[in-house]
């Protein structure tokens, strides 16, 4: 059983309602402002993420096809890396899976939800509860300490103050920053900030974590530590979709999908990972 399954009380994915006056964080449309988590469906089985013949075009003075009929499925607990040259469609794919954009054609499903058919509020709810993000640039709130940054998704998901603090502290301990939990981002190194970002991504027990060049702004040694944390999260049952330019980083995954010119060019099965890169299946 994955950590995600274990943490759902009584088989439910619904967190308790946020307490009145519990936070001064501004509400995000579709989350703290009243959209129920019941809008989010989690499949009993089947892929956690499924893209079916997905096309995405942009009008930039002419039609630009960023994705041209891509199909891809991510099984629960899998670890997939996406590689490709600049302009190949990697970022577009990640934005679609992350509910940050919608396809021009085809379907994108996350945790049983058709993102293209969802309303803006429903997509916001899905982003807040089913998708964790790890960015190259960390994207931490500069005036908030590590605990507050990690707990932020839980505010929007409706967790009580006590449960948020407990979960954030647990995750900071897990990533080795328990003694830095009250430090602000400016008081942390680049590697420590990325560890906070990983803890934040894991906070709501998402269906999938999307990691966009997570080692891009840290040195090699620190990058290895970041990849170890992602591997450990995957070992606990978290599904991971990683985008990277680095073959060495991609080899931490169970498989590598290469995209080129908006198309899925190849898939390479690696047989599993460990914290240092490869394991037997």
Q: β-strands 105-110, 263-269: how paired?
A: unpaired
Tokens of 225: 């530590």
Q: Dihedrals φ, ψ of 115, to 5°?
A: -70, -30
For residues 4 and 113, give the distance between their C-alpha atoms in angstroms, rounded to a whole number: 17
- Helix, strand, or coil (residue 125): helix
Assess contact for 137 and 193: CB atoms under 8 A.
no
**Residue 198 near residue 230 (C-beta atoms within 8 A):** yes
For 150, the token pair is: 């990690």
Q: Is 46 helix (H, G, I), strand (E, B) or coil?
A: coil
Extents of the domains making up the chain: 76-100+122-269
Angle at 39 between CA 115 and CA 35, to 5 degrees: 110
Q: What strand order describes the sheet that includes 113-114?
A: 63-74, 49-59, 105-110, 113-114
CATH number for the domain running over 76-100+122-269: 3.40.50.300
- In the block, residue with structure tokens 């964790």: 132
61: its two tokens: 């003075």
Residues contacting 72, CB < 8 A, separation 6+:
49, 50, 51, 80, 93, 257, 264
> In tens digits, what is the pLDDT along the chain, a chain of 281 residues?
445 544 433 333 333 333 322 333 333 333 333 333 334 444 455 799 999 999 999 988 888 999 999 999 999 999 999 999 998 999 999 999 999 999 999 999 999 999 999 999 999 999 999 999 998 889 999 999 999 999 999 998 889 999 999 999 999 999 999 999 999 999 999 999 999 999 999 999 999 999 999 988 888 888 899 999 999 999 999 999 999 999 999 999 999 999 999 999 999 999 765 443 333 32
- Residue 19 DSSP code: P
**Taking Cα atoms as reference points, which of 259, 133, 277, 122 lies closest to residue 208?**
133
- How many other CB atoms are found less than 10 A from the CB of residue 235? 16
* Residue 220, pLDDT score: 87
Strands, E assignment, the chain: 49-59, 63-74, 79-83, 105-110, 113-114, 131-134, 208-212, 239-243, 255-260, 263-269
Which residue in 232, 239, 227 sits closest to 131, CA to CA?
Answer: 239
């Amino acid at each position: 059983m994955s950590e995600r399954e274990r943490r759902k009380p009584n088989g439910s994915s619904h967190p308790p309602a946020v307490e009145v006056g519990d936070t001064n964080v501004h509400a995000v449309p579709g989350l703290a402002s009243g959209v129920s988590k019941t809008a989010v469906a989690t499949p009993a089985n089947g892929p956690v993420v499924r893209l079916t013949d997905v096309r995405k075009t942009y009008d930039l003075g002419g039609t630009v096809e960023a994705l041209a009929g891509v199909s891809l499925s991510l099984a629960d607990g899998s670890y997939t890396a996406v590689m490709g040259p600049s302009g190949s469609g990697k970022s577009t794919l990640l934005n679609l899976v992350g509910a940050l954009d919608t396809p021009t054609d085809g379907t994108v499903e996350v945790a049983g939800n058709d993102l293209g058919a969802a309303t803006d509020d429903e997509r916001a709810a899905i982003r807040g509860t089913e998708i964790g993000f790890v960015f190259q640039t960390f994207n931490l709130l500069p005036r908030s300490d590590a605990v507050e940054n990690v707990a932020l998704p839980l505010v929007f998901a409706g967790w009580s103050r006590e449960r948020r603090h407990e979960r954030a502290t647990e995750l900071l301990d897990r990533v080795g920053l328990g003694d830095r939990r009250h430090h602000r981002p400016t008081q942390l190194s680049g590697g420590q900030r990325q560890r906070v970002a990983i803890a934040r991504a894991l906070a709501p027990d998402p269906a999938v974590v999307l990691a966009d060049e997570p080692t891009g702004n840290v040195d090699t040694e620190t990058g290895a530590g970041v990849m170890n944390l992602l591997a450990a999260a995957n070992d606990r049952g978290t599904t991971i979709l990683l985008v990277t330019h680095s073959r060495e980083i991609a080899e931490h995954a169970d498989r590598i999908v290469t995209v080129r010119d908006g198309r899925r060019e190849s898939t390479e099965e690696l047989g599993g990972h460990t914290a240092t890169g490869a394991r037997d299946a």
